Chains A and B, each alone.
Chain A
Amino acid sequence: MSNRIEFKLWLAHRLSGMALGLFVVVHLAGMIIAIQGGLSSAEILQRTSGNYALGVFYSLFTIAAATHSTIGLRTVAREVIGWSGISANFFLIIFFLFLCAMGISAVGGLVL
């Protein structure tokens, strides 16, 4: 792997971590506010349906989470069990796509 890609992955890991910090705070605040009035899950889903801004927010949340966890796992795989190279990268790309697909489909269920 070329020299600069390692650093860029590290940087992506840090930036996605920073983004997650913001997303988690907004998510928790939203959850707390939403249940203050005693709303049920069905009532919440009724309100989120068609809210595309919410869809964009949670889609970005999903991508940040998938990016952060995949790069973090890559480092753990290399440093703890010594697994690196093409096979590890291939597995982790599949893992990244899996997380994105699961997360985006969940966002679809929330918004569409």
Chain B
Amino acid sequence: MENNQKKITVSVWRGGEDGNFENFQVPFVEDQTILDLLTHVQRTIDNSLSYRFACRVGMCGSCAMRVNGKPRWTCRTLVSTVVQNDELKLEPLSNLPVVKDLVVDMEPFFEKWQEAKGRFEPSDSPVTEFVPIKPDDKQRQKADEAIECINCGCCYAACDVVESNPAYLGPAALNRAWSLINDAKDFANPERLKAVSGDGGCQNCHTNSQCVARCPLQLNPTRSIAGLKKAVSLATLKGEI
């Protein structure tokens, strides 16, 4: 139910890389998400406000932005859980170019996916015997832990290594590579191991675990990156790459 008495102040980033915050007074509604709140602003106050969303149910990873300084998925974040002193600050994700208002250009993020060979690559020749995928297989479990990423970019925006080293592939791309390295039906190795150990590779990770702290799905990219470090180290020492 809408509480007609109570309003909160929402500071929203307006403009591109250069811009400023604009304040909106919006009614505080129980069980309202940040995305609901933005929709209210766009429909009733300023229809020029730009923000990105698609599924609204935490599956597509489109709606991430910084809420009070921290990257979050806004479709599953309740205003009541993050509002401070009746104020909210909404900004575009860090470490990505701002297109307009709360919309960032995700191209660098997905380019790094490609750099890390984040695509599934089947065998060049027809497979005569299919590899059985057993749920209790240890390697499969490693792939399963990493595979649920929805590419919202929260980890990438939270990563201080990405901030200091723009060449760094980032937690999401490396996590994706780790899921494929553990996929028995993928045939891109050892090329993928080379791809994740270049200048911007897994060795740059400081293990600060900001990505773990900010992942809305509670995935653990830091553990995936640690797995990559070990796999690349062993392959290097054995002379395989």
Inter-subunit contact B233/A14 (CB<8 Å): yes
Count contacts on B: residues with CB < 8 A to the other chain. 13
In the complex, A6→B196 CA distance in Å? Answer: 12
Inter-subunit contact A7/B232 (CB<8 Å): yes
In the complex, A71→B232 CA distance in Å? Answer: 19
Sorting the interface of chain A by its residue count into under 10, 10 to 19, 20 to 34 or 35 or more gives: 10 to 19
Q: Taking A11-B233, A11-B236 as contacts, is the C-beta distance between A4 and B197 under 8 angstroms?
A: yes
Which residues from B are CB-within-8-Å of A6?
A: 197-199, 201, 203
Inter-subunit contact A1/B233 (CB<8 Å): no
Which residues from A are CB-within-8-Å of B233?
A: 11, 14
Interface status of A3 (Cβ within 8 A of chain B): yes
Return A72 CB to nearest CB of chain B, in Å: 13
In the complex, A31→B197 CA distance in Å? Answer: 40
Return B225 CB to nearest CB of chain A, in Å: 12
Centre residue among A7, A8, A79 by max chain B CB count within 10 A: A7
Inter-subunit contact A7/B164 (CB<8 Å): no
Interface status of A95 (Cβ within 8 A of chain B): no
In the complex, A10→B203 CA distance in Å? Answer: 6
Inter-subunit contact B236/A3 (CB<8 Å): no
User: Which residue numbers of B lie inside 8 Å of A, CB to CB?
Assistant: 164-165, 194, 197-199, 201, 203, 232-233, 236-237, 241
